[in-house]
Amino acid sequence: MDRAALERHFDGVLAAHGPALSRLAGSYTNTPSDRDDLLQEIAIAIWQALPRFRGDCSERTFLFRIAHNRGIAYLARSRSQMPGLAEEIEVHDPAPDPESELAQEQSTARLRRAIHRLPVAYRQVVTLTLEGLGYGEIAEVLGISESNVGVRLSRARQILRESLEDRR
């Protein structure tokens, strides 16, 4: 693939998966600027890895694997596994009609905070599940067995449910 084709492919990949990658980056970071920094790192890593993609797995699996590897590297670097500033977590961009979406925003914000408080191993499984990946794909991304994915997801959901109930 020549450079121009690679650039087009890269732009297309970021346009199609950018929002999901941004949400995944957000699950590893505490502030919008940290999220953007991590997203930048992920984009660079994707750019470097894209020429080596041979279609052994789906493109989405390939991208999320890179994103999670960068996320783990980021956590190891920043040693910030416990989110300290929940109020700084950016929930999402402002909607055109904020009033009508207030209730939705609040429950979304609660869910995001609850996910952010999960241990990393559970957080990864939950975020990938919520991005629409199946057990097999999650297992490929994280390098664990499908049964392990099931166990982690089940525990994560239990914790999330309790966390969301407590804060109602």
CA angle 157, 158, 159 (to 5 degrees): 90
Query: Residues 97-136 vs another protein: string with x where CB under 8 A?
Result: -------x--xx--xx--x-----------x-xxxx----
Contacting residue, 92, 113, 117, 155, with another protein by CB under 8 A? 92
Residue type present at position 72: I
Counting contacts by CB under 8 A, is residue 165 touching another protein? Answer: no
Distance CA 114, CA 16 (A): 26
Q: Which range, of 50-58, 62-70, 94-102, 144-152, touches another protein by CB under 8 A?
A: 94-102
Q: How many CB atoms lie within 10 A of CB 12?
A: 10
Contacting residue, 31, 75, 157, 159, with another protein by CB under 8 A? 157
Burial class, 141, CB count within 10 angstroms (exposed 0-12 / middle 13-18 / buried 19+): buried
- Is residue 135 within 8 Å of 124, Cβ to Cβ? no
Contacting residue, 91, 121, 144, 159, with another protein by CB under 8 A? 91
Closer of 55 and 96 to another protein (Cβ): 96
**Inter-CA distances, 25 with 83, 114, 145, 168, Å:** 14, 16, 23, 26
Contacting residue, 16, 76, 102, 151, with another protein by CB under 8 A? 16
- Nearest distance from C-beta of residue 79 to another protein, angstroms: 25
Contacting residue, 44, 76, 95, 151, with another protein by CB under 8 A? 95
- Is residue 47 within 8 Å of 13, Cβ to Cβ? no
Counting contacts by CB under 8 A, is residue 161 touching another protein? Answer: yes
Q: How many CB atoms lie within 10 A of CB 142?
A: 20
Distance CA 121, CA 164 (A): 19
> Rule CB under 8 A: which residues touch another protein?
8, 11-12, 14-16, 18-20, 22-23, 26, 36, 39-40, 91-96, 104, 107-108, 111-112, 115, 127, 129-132, 157, 160-161
